[in-house]
Structure 1
Amino acid sequence: MRFLARGLVGLILLAITVGAVGFGVWRLVDTLSVEETRRRPPVEERSYSVNVARLEPETVVPVTVVYGQIRSWRNLEVRASSEGRLVEVSQTFRDGEAVRAGDLLLKIDPADAQSGLLDAKAALADAEAQKAEAEEAIGAAEQELEAARKQLELRRSSLDRQRQLLDRGYATMVQVEQEELSLAAIEQSLGSRLQSIITARKKIERMELNVERARITLRDAERTLEDTELRAPFAGTLDQVDATLGRRVGTNDALAVLIDPTALEASFTLSTAEFSRFLDDAGRLIKAPVKVELDLGGRAITVTGHLDRAAARVAEGDAGRQLFATLEVGEATILRPGDFVTLRVEEPTLTNVARVPAAAVNAAGEMLLLDADQRLEEHKARILRRLGDEIVLADVPFGRSYVTERLPQLGAGLKVSPRGADAGSAPEGQDGQGRRPVAESGGGAQELVALDPARREALIAKVNSRPIPDERKAEILGILKGDSVPRSLIDRLENGGRGQRG
C-alpha cells in the first residue's frame, strides 16, 4: 500500500511539473508574439507614385513630315535647228552656268543659210515681176475687148442699114450677106478677147500664189539664218552641255538642257490615309502650305510652297498617292533638281482636342485618369494624330488629371500618389492645405505632410545609407521627392523603423 501511495504521489508531482513547464512555454511564446506584433506596423495599401497632368482643350495644326525629291517642270532641250559647223561657242555655255533670256549660246556657220536667203529673195523678185507682167497684159486685153465691142456695134448698125436699103431696093442681097459675115467675124473675135481676159486673170492668180510661195520660202530662209544663232529663250541653268568649237552638227542634234531654277516643285508620296487628310468635302485637293528643308550638314535651307496637284495615275506596286508641291523660289535658290528634301505639310486645323505624351496612351487609345479618391480609372479616347512623341486625342474629359506615363504595373483601381504641376489641383476630395487621405488596411486615414528642404535631404540621406533593395529604394526616394510625404514613412525613417502611426 505504501508503494502504491508513493507511486501515485510521484505521478501527480510529474503531471504538475509538466503542466507548469507547458504553461511557462505558452506564456513565453505569447509574450514574444505580442511583442513582435506590437513592434511590426500594420500592413498598408501599396501606393504608386505617378506623374500626372491636366487634360486641356487645344487647337492643333498637325504637320505631316515626308521625304521627297526636287524636280523642275520647265526644261528645254537645246538642239541644233540647222546643219553646219560651230563657229562660235559662248563662254557661258558650260554645265551649271546661269544664262539670261536672249543670251547667245552657240553660232553655226551661216554661209549656207545666207545663200539660201539670197536665192529666196531672187525667187520672190521674179514672181513679183511675172505678176506685174500679167497685170499689164490683162490691161491690154481689156482694151482690145472694148474695141471689139465697139466694132460689133458698128457692124450691127451697118447690117441694119443694108437690110433697110434692101427693102427699098437700093441694095443687093450680096451686100447684106457680106455685112452678116463681117458681124459674125466680129462676134467670134469678141469671144476670143473674152477668153484671153479670163486666161490673163487666172494667170494673175497663179502669179499671186507664186509670190506668196516665194515669200514663205523667204521667211523660211530668214528663220534658217536666225537659227544659226542659238539663244536662251528664258533665264536658267545649263546642264548636259555637249558642244565644241568646230564640231559639225546636224539638224536636231542635242547640245544641252536648259533648266528654269524658278520653276521647281517637290515630288513626294503619301499613304492613302495621309492623302485623305488633304481633301476637302468635295474630294478636291486643298492648297495646303508646305515647308521644304534641304539639309546641308551644318546648315539647313528652307523654302515655302503649297500643294499643287496629284499624279494622274498610281504606279504599279504603289500603295499611296504621288503629290507635287509648287515651291516659291527665285533665281538665286540653292535647290537643284534631284535634291532629296524633307517636306512638312500643314494639315487642316483640329479644334477642341487634347495633346498628350505618347507614353500616356496605349495602341487602343486607352489612358488612365485620376478619380476623387486618387485611384486610377481607365478611359478610351479617339486617336486623331501621332506627332512624334505626342498624340492628339478627341473624346476626352477636359479638366481631368491623367497619368503621363502608363507603366506596366498600373491599372484601374490602384491607389497612386500623383506628382507634377497638376497633382495638387485636379482631383476632388483634396483639402485646402494640400493634404489627401491615404487609405490604410485598418480602415483609418493618414495625412500627407509637406517637408522643408533640410528635413527632406536628411530623410533621403537615411534611405541611401540603409541596405534596401534598389527597386524599393527608388520607390521610397520617389515618394520623398514628391510635394507631400506620408507621415508613417517619415516616422519609420526618423525613429529607425519604430515610428508610430499618425
Structure 2
Amino acid sequence: MRFLLRAIRFILPIVVLGGCIVVTWWLLSNPPVQEKKDIPPTLVRVEGTTLNKTTYELRVRSQGTVQPRTRSTLLPEVSGKIIEISPSFRPGGFFAAGDVLMRLDPVDYETAIVVTQAAEAQAEVVLAEEQARADQAVENWRAMGRTGTPSALVSRAPQLAKAKADVASAKAQVLKAERDLERTTIRAPYACQVLEQAVDLGQFVNSGTTLGRIFAVDYVEIRLPLPERESQYLKLPHAFRDQNNPAEPALPVFLKSVIAGKTVMWEGKIVRVEGALDEQTRQATAVAQVTDPYARRADGKPPLTIGAFVEAEIVGEPLEDVYIVPRAAVRAGNEIILIDRPQNTLRRMTVDPLVSNEKHIVVSANAKKAPKEGDVLCLTPIPFPADGARVLPTVDGQIEAGPVKDGQAEPKPSPAVGKKETT
C-alpha cells in the first residue's frame, strides 16, 4: 500500500505536465480563425474657403504722441513789477496772437521817454547853433577875399558832424525808451494755450525771468514711425532740394485715442518725412498734422490734447490681385494649408505676405509662391498636418461628400454649427 502511494505521487505530476504540453501543442497547431474587417480611415472635419483675387485697401498702422508745433518760454525784455495779469493766464488758458498776457509798471519807462525827448531837443538846439556858426565861418572866410573851398576846420565840419551825431543818438535813445515802454506790455506771440504759469500779480521780475510756458494751437504734430514693409506702398511727401521736383501731396491719416473711456477719431494728413532714420529701429518717421485741434466740434468731439497717445492709420495705395488670408489660418513661418479637391487632401504651402496685421495677411496672387485662384484654404487649425492627409471639409458653408465606400459615396453629414467667420 505504501509502495502504491509512492508510485502515484511520482507518476501523477508527470501525467499532468504531459497533458499540459499536449493541450498547448494542439492550441498552437490549431489557432482560431480571426475575422478581418476593413476599418475606414477617420477623417477630420475642417472648414475652408475658396481663394479669390480681390483689391485690398491698405491702411498702414503706427502710433505716436501728440506734440505742439511750437513751444515757447515767456521771458520779459525789461524789468518791473507786474501790475496787471490776464485772468486767462493760467494753465489751460487760450490767447489769440497779440492778446495781452500781463503788464509791468510803466512809470520808469514813461519817465525815460521824457528824459530822452529832452536830450533830443537839446541836441537839436546844439545842431542848429553849430550849423549857424559853420555858415558864418564860411561867409567870413569869403569876406576876406579868399577863393576855393575852405578847409574842414575853417567851415567847422567836425563840430557840425558831432552835433548831427548827437541828434541821431538822442533820437535812438527816444526810440529805445519807447520800445522799453512798449515791452512792459507782454503779448502772446501767436495763438497759444498756457502750459505753465511761473509768476503772479505784484511780483517783481527782471529781464530773463521765466514768466511761464505756452504752445501753439493752430495745429499739432504727431511723429509716426513707419514699418519698412508697408511704407513701400505709401506715396510719402519726401522733401528734395530740387524745387522743380515737388514732394508728393499730403497723405490722409486717421488718428484714434481713448478719452474718458470712449474712442475718439480725428482726421489729419502726413505733411513731411523726417530726413534721418531712427538710430535704434532704423525706421523712417513721418509727421502727421492735425489743424485746429482745440476747436469746438459740432459732434461734441473733445480736443486733441498735447501729450495724448494716438494710434494712426495711414491711407496707402490699393493693392490689386491679392488674397486676404485670415491670421488664424496662418501657421508659423507664414505657412498655410490648402485642400486639394476632389480628393480633399491637405497640402502645405509657404507664402510671402505683402503686408500683414493682427487680423489677416495679404498675399500677391502673382507671386511665385502663391495659391491659384479657386484653391481652397483650410481655416481650421490642425496641430500636425501631413501632406496628402484626407479631411472632410465644409467649404464656404457647403459640405463636401464623404469618403467613397463600396463604390458609393457616403451621405453628407449634417451642416456644422457655428461656422467660423472669415475676413
The TM-score normalised by the length of structure 1 is 0.65
Instruction: Show the counterpart of 2:421.
Output: none
2:191 and 2:218 in contact (8 A); partners too: no
Q: Secondary structure at the match of 2:211?
A: strand
Instruction: Show the counterpart of 2:390.
Output: 415
1:309 and 1:325 in contact (8 A); partners too: yes
In structure 2, what residue type is equivalent to 1:345? I
In structure 2, what residue type is equivalent to 1:418? P
1:127 and 1:211 in contact (8 A); partners too: yes
Give 1:71 shift: 0.8
Instruction: Show the counterpart of 2:306.
Output: 337
Structure 1's 130 and 49: CA in aligned 2 closer, same or farther, altered over 3 A?
A: same
In structure 2, what residue type is equivalent to 1:370? I
Provide Cα deviations, 1:84-114, integer angstroms capped at 9, x if missing partner.
1111122111111112222222111111111
Give 1:225 shift: 0.2
Provide Cα deviations, 1:106-146, integer angstroms capped at 9, x if missing partner.
11111111111112211222222222223333333343344
Output aligned runs, 1:48-87, within 5 Å: 48-87=44-83
Give 1:270 shift: 4.2
Give 1:400 shift: 1.8
1:51 and 1:418 in contact (8 A); partners too: yes
Structure 1's 29 and 76: CA in aligned 2 closer, same or farther, altered over 3 A?
A: closer
1:356 and 1:404 in contact (8 A); partners too: no
Output aligned runs, 1:359-374, within 5 Å: 359-372=328-341, 373-374=343-344
Provide Cα deviations, 1:232-286, integer angstroms capped at 9, x if missing partner.
2222211210222211110111111121122311134345556555576999896
1:438 aligns with 2:407: no
Q: Secondary structure at the match of 1:66?
A: strand
Give the distance between the partners of 2:117 and 2:333, measured in 1 at CA. 85
Instruction: Show the counterpart of 1:116.
Output: 112
Structure 1's 198 and 307: CA in aligned 2 closer, same or farther, altered over 3 A?
A: farther
Which residue, out of 174, 185, 192, partners 1:236? 192
Instruction: Show the counterpart of 1:382.
Output: 352
Output aligned runs, 1:28-427, within 5 Å: 42-149=38-145, 187=146, 194-195=150-151, 199-270=155-226, 273=229, 278=234, 287-311=250-274, 313=276, 317-332=280-295, 334-372=303-341, 373-394=343-364, 395=367, 396=370, 397-421=372-396, 423=398
Q: Secondary structure at the match of 1:70?
A: strand
Structure 1's 446 and 340: CA in aligned 2 closer, same or farther, altered over 3 A?
A: same
1:53 and 1:423 in contact (8 A); partners too: no
Structure 1's 118 and 76: CA in aligned 2 closer, same or farther, altered over 3 A?
A: same
Stretch of structure 1 that moved more, 367-376 or 393-402: 367-376
Structure 1's 270 and 330: CA in aligned 2 closer, same or farther, altered over 3 A?
A: closer
Give 1:346 shift: 3.0
Give 1:405 shift: 2.8
Give 1:423 shift: 4.4
Structure 1's 48 and 212: CA in aligned 2 closer, same or farther, altered over 3 A?
A: same
Which residue, out of 449, 453, 458, partners 2:411? 449
Give 1:321 shift: 4.2
Give the distance between the partners of 1:306 and 1:445, measured in 2 at CA. 65
Structure 1's 135 and 307: CA in aligned 2 closer, same or farther, altered over 3 A?
A: same
2:402 and 2:411 in contact (8 A); partners too: no
Structure 1's 422 and 393: CA in aligned 2 closer, same or farther, altered over 3 A?
A: farther
Q: Secondary structure at the match of 1:195?
A: coil
Give 1:226 shift: 0.6
Q: Secondary structure at the match of 1:449?
A: coil
Structure 1's 29 and 331: CA in aligned 2 closer, same or farther, altered over 3 A?
A: closer
Aligned length: 372
Give 1:299 shift: 1.6
Q: How big is the alpha-carbon RMSD for the aligned residues of Structure 1 and Structure 2?
A: 3.3
Give 1:364 shift: 3.0
Give the distance between the partners of 1:276 and 1:213, measured in 2 at CA. 63
Q: Secondary structure at the match of 2:175?
A: helix
Structure 1: segments with no counterpart, 5+ residues: 1-21, 150-186, 425-434, 451-478, 484-502
Structure 1's 326 and 418: CA in aligned 2 closer, same or farther, altered over 3 A?
A: same
The TM-score normalised by the length of structure 2 is 0.77
Provide Cα deviations, 1:67-96, integer angstroms capped at 9, x if missing partner.
311111212222111111111122111111
Q: Secondary structure at the match of 1:211?
A: helix
Instruction: Show the counterpart of 2:18.
Output: none
Give 1:349 shift: 2.7
Structure 1's 241 and 281: CA in aligned 2 closer, same or farther, altered over 3 A?
A: closer
Give the distance between the partners of 2:137 and 2:153, measured in 1 at CA. 6
Give the distance between the partners of 1:259 and 1:280, measured in 2 at CA. 28
Stretch of structure 1 that moved more, 195-204 or 60-69: 195-204
2:293 and 2:304 in contact (8 A); partners too: no
Instruction: Show the counterpart of 1:467.
Output: none
Give the distance between the partners of 1:409 and 1:79, measured in 2 at CA. 70
Give the distance between the partners of 1:44 and 1:371, measured in 2 at CA. 20
In structure 2, what residue type is equivalent to 1:253? T
Give the distance between the partners of 2:259 and 2:394, measured in 1 at CA. 43
Give the distance between the partners of 1:361 and 1:205, measured in 2 at CA. 91
Give the distance between the partners of 1:437 and 1:87, measured in 2 at CA. 93
Larger Rg: 1
Give the distance between the partners of 1:420 and 1:89, measured in 2 at CA. 74
Give 1:437 shift: 7.3
In structure 2, what residue type is equivalent to 1:246? G
